Copies of this chain bind each other. A is one copy, B any other.
Amino acid sequence: MITIVAKFTLKAGKKQEFIQAVTPMIEGSRKESGNVSYNLFEDIRNNNILTFIEEWKDKGAIDFHNQTEHFLTGLDVIKELSENIEITQYQKL
Protein backbone atom coordinates (compact mmCIF):
# COMPACT_ATOMS: atom_id res chain seq x y z
CA MET A 1 0.00 0.00 0.00
CA ILE A 2 1.17 3.54 -0.72
CA THR A 3 -0.05 6.60 1.18
CA ILE A 4 0.14 10.02 -0.46
CA VAL A 5 0.09 13.24 1.56
CA ALA A 6 -0.52 16.17 -0.82
CA LYS A 7 -0.40 19.55 0.92
CA PHE A 8 -1.55 22.75 -0.78
CA THR A 9 -1.06 26.28 0.53
CA LEU A 10 -3.73 28.24 -1.32
CA LYS A 11 -3.50 31.71 -2.76
CA ALA A 12 -5.61 34.13 -0.67
CA GLY A 13 -9.37 33.85 -1.17
CA LYS A 14 -9.23 30.74 -3.35
CA LYS A 15 -10.56 28.14 -0.95
CA GLN A 16 -14.11 27.76 -2.25
CA GLU A 17 -12.86 27.62 -5.83
CA PHE A 18 -10.34 24.95 -4.83
CA ILE A 19 -12.96 22.81 -3.10
CA GLN A 20 -15.27 23.06 -6.11
CA ALA A 21 -12.46 22.05 -8.46
CA VAL A 22 -11.41 19.02 -6.43
CA THR A 23 -14.87 17.61 -5.73
CA PRO A 24 -15.13 15.67 -9.05
CA MET A 25 -11.51 14.53 -8.52
CA ILE A 26 -12.37 13.14 -5.07
CA GLU A 27 -15.48 11.37 -6.35
CA GLY A 28 -13.70 9.94 -9.40
CA SER A 29 -10.67 8.83 -7.42
CA ARG A 30 -12.76 6.95 -4.85
CA LYS A 31 -14.36 4.96 -7.68
CA GLU A 32 -10.98 3.72 -8.98
CA SER A 33 -10.44 0.07 -8.10
CA GLY A 34 -6.87 0.80 -6.94
CA ASN A 35 -7.97 3.44 -4.43
CA VAL A 36 -8.32 2.51 -0.76
CA SER A 37 -9.22 5.94 0.63
CA TYR A 38 -9.12 9.54 -0.55
CA ASN A 39 -9.91 12.37 1.88
CA LEU A 40 -9.44 16.12 2.05
CA PHE A 41 -8.36 17.84 5.26
CA GLU A 42 -7.99 21.42 6.43
CA ASP A 43 -5.20 22.65 8.70
CA ILE A 44 -6.95 23.54 11.98
CA ARG A 45 -4.65 26.53 12.56
CA ASN A 46 -4.49 27.81 8.96
CA ASN A 47 -7.54 27.17 6.81
CA ASN A 48 -5.61 28.21 3.72
CA ILE A 49 -3.77 24.89 3.90
CA LEU A 50 -5.66 21.93 2.45
CA THR A 51 -4.23 18.42 2.35
CA PHE A 52 -5.26 15.18 0.72
CA ILE A 53 -4.41 11.94 2.46
CA GLU A 54 -4.81 9.14 -0.07
CA GLU A 55 -4.26 5.40 0.21
CA TRP A 56 -3.55 3.34 -2.91
CA LYS A 57 -3.17 -0.40 -3.36
CA ASP A 58 0.20 -0.16 -5.15
CA LYS A 59 2.32 1.83 -7.61
CA GLY A 60 0.24 0.58 -10.55
CA ALA A 61 -2.87 2.10 -8.98
CA ILE A 62 -1.14 5.49 -8.74
CA ASP A 63 0.19 5.28 -12.32
CA PHE A 64 -3.36 4.59 -13.50
CA HIS A 65 -4.78 7.43 -11.35
CA ASN A 66 -2.25 9.91 -12.74
CA GLN A 67 -3.65 9.39 -16.24
CA THR A 68 -7.34 9.77 -15.38
CA GLU A 69 -9.27 12.74 -16.64
CA HIS A 70 -10.62 13.68 -13.19
CA PHE A 71 -7.03 13.83 -11.87
CA LEU A 72 -5.53 15.77 -14.78
CA THR A 73 -8.42 18.26 -14.93
CA GLY A 74 -8.33 18.79 -11.14
CA LEU A 75 -4.56 19.14 -11.12
CA ASP A 76 -4.54 21.96 -13.65
CA VAL A 77 -6.91 24.03 -11.52
CA ILE A 78 -5.33 23.32 -8.15
CA LYS A 79 -1.89 24.22 -9.49
CA GLU A 80 -3.28 27.59 -10.45
CA LEU A 81 -4.96 28.18 -7.09
CA SER A 82 -1.97 27.14 -4.97
CA GLU A 83 0.99 29.14 -3.76
CA ASN A 84 2.87 26.07 -2.61
CA ILE A 85 2.47 22.33 -3.26
CA GLU A 86 4.18 19.50 -1.36
CA ILE A 87 3.43 15.92 -2.38
CA THR A 88 4.98 12.96 -0.58
CA GLN A 89 4.54 9.24 -1.21
CA TYR A 90 4.91 7.02 1.84
CA GLN A 91 5.18 3.36 2.68
CA LYS A 92 4.14 2.17 6.13
CA LEU A 93 6.92 0.95 8.43
Q: Which of A3, A39, A92, A93 has the most CB of B within 10 A?
A: A93
Q: Please, what's the 1-or-0 string for A1-34, where 1 marks a CB less than 8 Å from any CB in chain B?
A: 0110101000000000001000000000000000
A3: min CB distance to chain B, Å: 6
**What size tier do the contact residues of chain A reach?**
20 to 34
Asked if A40 is an interface residue, CB under 8 A from chain B, the answer is yes
Q: By the criterion CB–CB under 8 Å, are A51 and B88 in contact?
A: yes
* Complex CA distance for A5 and B20, rounded to whole angstroms: 24
Asked if A69 is an interface residue, CB under 8 A from chain B, the answer is no
Q: By the criterion CB–CB under 8 Å, are A93 and B50 in contact?
A: yes
A48: min CB distance to chain B, Å: 12
